[in-house]
Amino acid sequence: MAALADSNYLAQFSAGDRLTTSHHLRTEILSGLTVALALVPEAVAFAFVAGVHPLVGLYAAFIVGLITALMGGRPGMISGATGALAVVMVSLVAEHGVEYLFATVVLMGLFQILAGILRLGKFMRLVPHSVMLGFVNGLAIVIFLAQLGQFQVPGSAEVSGHGMSGGEWLTGWPLVTMLALVVLTMGVIWRLPKLTTAIPAPLAGIAVTALLVILFGIDVPRVGDMASIEGGLPQFHLPMVPFTLETLWIILPYALILAAIGLIESLLTLNLVGEIVHERGGASQECVAQGVANTVTGFFGGMGGCAMIGQSMINVNSGGRTRLSGASAALFLLGFILFGAPLIEQIPLAALVGVMFMVVIGTFAWRSFTIMRKVPLTDAVVIVVVTVVTVATDLATAVVVGVIISALVYAWKTAAHIHARSYITPEGAKVYQIEGPLFFGSAHAFADLFDPEHDPRRVVVDFAQSRVADQSALTAIEALAAKYEKVGKRLELRHLSHDCHKLLTKAGQLMVDSDDDPDYAIAANYSVRTGVLQAGH
Which CATH number goes with the domain that contains 445? 3.30.750.24
Residue 6 placed within a domain = no
Residue 327 pLDDT > 90, yes or no?
yes
pLDDT surpasses 90 at 399? no
Asked if residues 100 and 92 have their Cβ atoms less than 8 Å apart, the reply is yes
Q: How many CB atoms lie within 10 A of CB 160?
A: 19
Please state, in angstroms and rounded to a whole number, the distance separating the CA atoms of residues 72 and 327: 11
Q: Tell me, what amino acid is at 504?
A: L
Asked whether residue 202 falls in the same domain as residue 147, the answer is yes
Indicate whether 208 and 75 sit together in one domain.
yes
User: String of b and e for 446-474 (b: at least 16 CB within 10 Å)?
Assistant: beeebebeebeebbbbbbeebbbbbbbbb
The residue among 369, 386, 401 that closes a domain is 369
Residue 91 lies in a domain: yes
Q: Please give the pLDDT value at position 2.
A: 41
**Residue 221 and residue 130 in one domain:** yes
What average pLDDT does this structure show over 84-95? 89
Q: What percent of the chain has pLDDT over 70?
A: 88
Taking a C-beta distance cutoff of 8 angstroms, is the pair 58, 40 a contact?
A: yes
pLDDT for residue 529 is more than 70 = no
394: in domain: no
**Co-location of 130 and 67 in the same domain:** yes
439 versus 125: the higher-pLDDT residue is 439
Burial of 443 (0-12, 13-18, 19+ CB in 10 A): buried
Same domain flag for 358 and 473: no
Of the candidates 353, 369, 385, which is a domain's last residue?
A: 369
Tell me if 2 is assigned to some domain. no
Residue 467 parent element (H or E): strand 458-468
Q: Would residue 385 count as lying in a domain?
A: no
> pLDDT tens-digit profile of 5-40?
444 444 443 444 444 577 788 899 999 999 999 999
**Measured in whole angstroms, how far is the alpha carbon of residue 120 from the centre of its chain?**
13
Q: With H, G, I as helix, E, B as strand and everything else as coil, classify residue 507.
A: helix
Q: What is the pLDDT of residues 291-323, one digit of tens each?
A: 999 999 999 999 999 999 889 999 998 889 899
Reduced to 3 states, what is the DSSP secondary structure of residue 486? helix
Q: Are residues 433 and 491 in the same domain?
A: yes
Domain end (from 369, 404, 428): 369
Tell me the C-alpha to C-alpha distance, in Å, between residue 377 and each of 46, 154, 183, 463. Answer: 37, 45, 38, 33
d(CA 59, CA 302): 5
Q: What 3-state class would DSSP assign to 531?
A: coil
Given a cut of 60, is residue 328 above it in pLDDT? yes
Q: Of 396 and 88, which is predicted with more confidence?
A: 88
Query: pLDDT of 252-282, one tens digit each?
Result: 999 999 999 899 989 989 988 888 877 777 9
Q: Are residues 186 and 332 in the same domain?
A: yes
pLDDT for 533: 31
**Average pLDDT for residues 336-362, to the nearest whole number?**
92
- Which amino acid, 263? L
| End-to-end Cα distance, the chain | 28
Assigned domain for 229 exists: yes
- Number of structural domains (the chain) is 2
pLDDT at 31: 94
User: Is the separation of the CB atoms in 337 and 171 below 8 Å?
Assistant: no
- Whether 339 and 427 map to the same domain: the answer is no
Domain housing 62: 25-369
Lowest mean pLDDT among 232-236, 283-287, 512-516: 512-516
For residue range 463-510, list pLDDT tens digits in order: 989 888 888 888 999 899 899 999 999 888 888 877 777 777 666 656
Least confident stretch, 136-150, 188-202, 222-236, 517-531: 517-531
Inside any domain, residue 408: no
Nearest Cα to 157, choosing from 169, 148, 166, 146? 166
Say which residue, 2 or 188, is predicted with more confidence.
188
- Whether the predicted pLDDT of 525 surpasses 50: no
Residues 217 and 99 reside in one and the same domain: yes
Residue 410 lies in a domain: no
- Domain match, 320 and 259 both: yes
Q: Are residues 48 and 103 in the same domain?
A: yes
Q: How confident is the model at residue 523 (pLDDT cuts 50, 70, 90)?
A: low
Provide mean pLDDT across the span 96-109: 96
pLDDT averaged over every residue in the chain: 86
* 348 and 486 assigned to the same domain: no
The pLDDT value recorded for residue 393 is: 82
